[in-house]
């Protein structure tokens, strides 16, 4: 079983590869530790010499599993073959040729030597969990081999992935996780034969690959890198994907629609800055969102709240009332616009949704002041007249009718 971050994997990679890739039996089986024995002998002499060089160059005497190595026995012998070497017959030459090396957790030391190109028929190279060092992008000799499985995770490789790997259209499985690799994923951009890709726990950066290029992809893990940008919506078209982990990177934007057949628990989207809203589905349970589209404010339930007229937000903050001198004329505004020159806005609790011309405002103020002054003048004159009449005991003049009425 494949193990991911110390827990049991979700599917048996070896069985899947064996059932989907004909004529790769030994090479793909040894990737997950199947015991496959050779039934023939007489290895190609040049390849035996290459194996001896590998043993002497990479700490062979200190390997944990090294039965029969550097002995007189044939490396491909059915009973006394060299441990970890898997062979197949070449009907043209009559010799056996190395089909795979399986040295997982075997204390292999040092750089990968260029003389390994002498294993011209090798299809699977498994050196996971060792002490392999060196600059990976210098190991271009790997591109000269007909590899279907390249398993180098949990070593000390540095540098970037060799660009020429993009031309290796035979690759079905690549594991490079837990190294110190950097650069982009572009060398994997067009390897349409990929079924299993594990690049987790490195320093890869840049954009993610376009998933249209991987029609056979089953397992994809790029967790704990520095990848950014968005995930291409072609991801939803993957028909065979069973495990998808892009956690703890710098991805943003909308989360693409997940294939409906993906089971709960095989998708990890955590540790990124996705755009809200996030679908309410178990497939998206690990995702958290940091912002909404402009004009919408994020809610705690991973949804978005539209701003009212007079409010605005860039999508990452709550809806905020427009301050004095600015306005937002409609709902879902991304920002508050500045009022035109010689105009004003009145900010209330919900913010300003319009601006008023200063000329109209001055007219309104002038008329209000004039009416107030006029009213005060009328009241003042009335009070003055009343006090004068009272002071001089004056009575108002009577009409003739009123005087005649008083005589009677």
> Domain segments of the chain: what residues?
3-206, 292-354, 366-407
Mean pLDDT (whole number) for 318-339: 82
Give how far Cα 87 sits from Cα of 25, 77, 90, 129, 152, Å. Answer: 11, 9, 10, 23, 20
Give how far Cα 101 sits from Cα of 27, 47, 347, Å. Answer: 8, 12, 75
Residue 299 CB neighbours (<10 A) = 14
Q: Answer with the residue of higher pLDDT: 23 or 88.
A: 88
CATH number of 3-206: 3.80.10.10
How far is it, in rounded angstroms, from Cα 168 to Cα 107?
A: 28
Q: Check pLDDT > 70 for residue 306.
A: yes
How far is it, in rounded angstroms, from Cα 150 to Cα 101?
A: 10
Tokens for 209, please give them. 């690959």
Output the pLDDT for position 131. 97
Q: Check pLDDT > 60 for residue 196.
A: yes
Q: Do residues 354 and 325 touch, judged by C-beta distance below 8 A?
A: no
Residue 249 CB neighbours (<10 A) = 21
Low-confidence winner among 94-98, 124-128, 281-285, 325-329 (lowest mean pLDDT): 325-329
Output the pLDDT for position 322. 84
Output the pLDDT for position 356. 62
Which are the contacts of 253, defined by CB distance < 8 A and separation ≥ 6?
A: 229, 230, 231, 274, 275
Output the pLDDT for position 397. 55
CA–centroid distance for 385 within its chain: 86
CATH, domain 292-354, list 3.10.450, 2.10.50, 1.10.10, 1.25.40: 2.10.50
Output the pLDDT for position 94. 78
């Amino acid at each position: 079983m494949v193990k991911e971050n110390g827990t049991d994997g979700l599917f048996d990679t070896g069985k899947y590869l064996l059932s989907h890739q004909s004529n790769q039996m030994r090479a793909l089986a040894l990737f997950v530790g199947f015991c496959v024995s050779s039934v023939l002998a007489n290895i190609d002499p040049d390849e035996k010499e290459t194996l001896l060089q590998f043993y002497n160059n990479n700490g062979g005497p200190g390997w944990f599993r090294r039965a029969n190595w550097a002995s007189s026995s044939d490396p491909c012998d059915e009973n006394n073959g060299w441990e970890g070497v898997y062979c197949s017959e070449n009907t043209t030459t009559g010799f056996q040729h190395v089909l795979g090396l399986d040295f997982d957790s075997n204390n292999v030391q040092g750089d990968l030597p260029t003389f390994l190109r002498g294993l011209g028929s090798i299809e699977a190279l498994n050196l996971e969990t060792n002490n392999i060092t060196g600059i990976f992008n210098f190991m271009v000799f790997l591109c000269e081999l007909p590899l279907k499985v390249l398993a180098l995770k949990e070593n000390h490789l540095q540098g970037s992935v060799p660009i020429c790997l993009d031309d290796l259209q035979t690759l079905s499985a690549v594991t490079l996780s837990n190294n110190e690799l950097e650069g982009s994923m572009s060398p994997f951009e067009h390897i349409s034969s990929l079924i299993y890709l594990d690049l987790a726990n490195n320093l890869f950066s840049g954009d993610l690959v376009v998933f249209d290029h991987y029609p056979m992809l089953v397992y994809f893990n790029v967790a704990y890198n520095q990848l950014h940008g968005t995930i291409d919506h072609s991801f939803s078209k993957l028909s065979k994907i069973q495990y998808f982990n892009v956690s703890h990177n710098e991805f943003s934007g909308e989360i693409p629609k997940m294939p409906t057949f993906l089971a709960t628990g095989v998708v990890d989207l955590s540790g990124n800055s996705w755009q809200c809203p996030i679908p309410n589905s178990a497939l998206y349970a690990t995702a958290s969102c940091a912002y909404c589209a402009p004009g919408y404010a994020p809610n705690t339930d991973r949804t978005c709240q539209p701003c009212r007229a007079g409010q605005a937000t860039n999508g990452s903050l709550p809806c905020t009332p427009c301050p004095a001198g600015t306005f937002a004329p409609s709902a879902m505004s991304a920002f508050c616009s500045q009022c035109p020159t010689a105009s004003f806005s009145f900010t209330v609790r919900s913010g300003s949704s319009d601006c008023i011309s200063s000329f109209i405002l001055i007219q309104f103020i002038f008329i209000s002041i004039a009416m107030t002054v006029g009213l005060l003048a009328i009241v003042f004159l009335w009070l003055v007249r009343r006090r004068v009449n009272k002071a001089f005991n004056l009575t108002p003049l009577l009409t003739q009718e009123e005087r005649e009425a008083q005589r009677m």
